[in-house]
Amino acid sequence: MWVDGFWALVLLGISGVSVSSVNGAPDHHGSMGAALAVSVVLCVVVALRRRMPEKMVLLAAATGVAQLVLDIETTAADFAMLVIVCTVAAIGARWASRFALVGGMCAATLAQIRWPQPDSSALGQVAVAIFQTVPFALAWVLGDSMRTRRAYFAQLEERAARLEKEREAQAKVAVAAERARIARELHDVVAHNVSVMVVQADGAAYVLDAAPDQAKKALETISSTGRQALAEMRRLLGVLRTGEHQEGGEYVPQPDVEQIKELVEQCRSSGLPVDFRIEGTPRPLPSGVELTAYRIVQEALTNTRKHGGPNAGASVRLVYFDDGLGLLIEDDGQGAPHELYEDGGADGQGHGLIGMRERVGMVGGTLDAGPRPGGGFRISALLPLKPAH
Residue ranges and CATH numbers for the domains of the chain are 2-115 (no CATH), 256-389 (3.30.565.10)
Specify the pLDDT at position 251: 42
Sign of CA dihedral 152, 156, 158, 162: positive
Say whether pLDDT at 316 is over 90.
Answer: yes
Q: Does 128 or 352 have the greater pLDDT score?
A: 128
Nearest-angstrom CA–CA distance, 293 and 302: 14
Q: Could you tell me the pLDDT band of residue 236, with boundaries at 50, 70 and 90? A: low
Taking the C-alpha atoms of 59, 61, 66 and 67 in order, what is their torsion angle to the nearest 10 degrees?
Answer: 120
CA angle, 186 then 177 then 231, to 5°: 25
Nearest-angstrom CA–CA distance, 347 and 274: 28
Average pLDDT on 176-196 reads 69
Nearest-angstrom CA–CA distance, 310 and 197: 16
Nearest-angstrom CA–CA distance, 310 and 296: 22
Average pLDDT on 209-232 reads 75
Highest mean pLDDT, choosing among 131-145, 162-176, 225-239: 131-145
Q: Could you tell me the pLDDT band of residue 87, with boundaries at 50, 70 and 90? A: very high
Specify the pLDDT at position 386: 63
Phi, psi torsion values for 277, nearest 5 degrees: -140, 145
The residue count of the chain comes to 389
pLDDT in tens, 282-308: 888 887 888 888 888 988 888 887 777
What does the longest C-alpha to C-alpha distance in the chain come to?
138
Nearest-angstrom CA–CA distance, 49 and 9: 14
Conformation bin of residue 271: beta by default, left when phi > 0, alpha when psi is -120 to 50: left
Sign of CA dihedral 28, 34, 36, 39: negative
Nearest to 71 by CA among 27, 102, 109, 105: 27
Average pLDDT, the chain: 80
Specify the pLDDT at position 197: 75
Specify the pLDDT at position 382: 92
Say whether pLDDT at 325 is over 80.
Answer: yes
Specify the pLDDT at position 120: 73
Specify the pLDDT at position 388: 44
Average pLDDT on 184-202 reads 70
Say whether pLDDT at 22 is over 70.
Answer: no
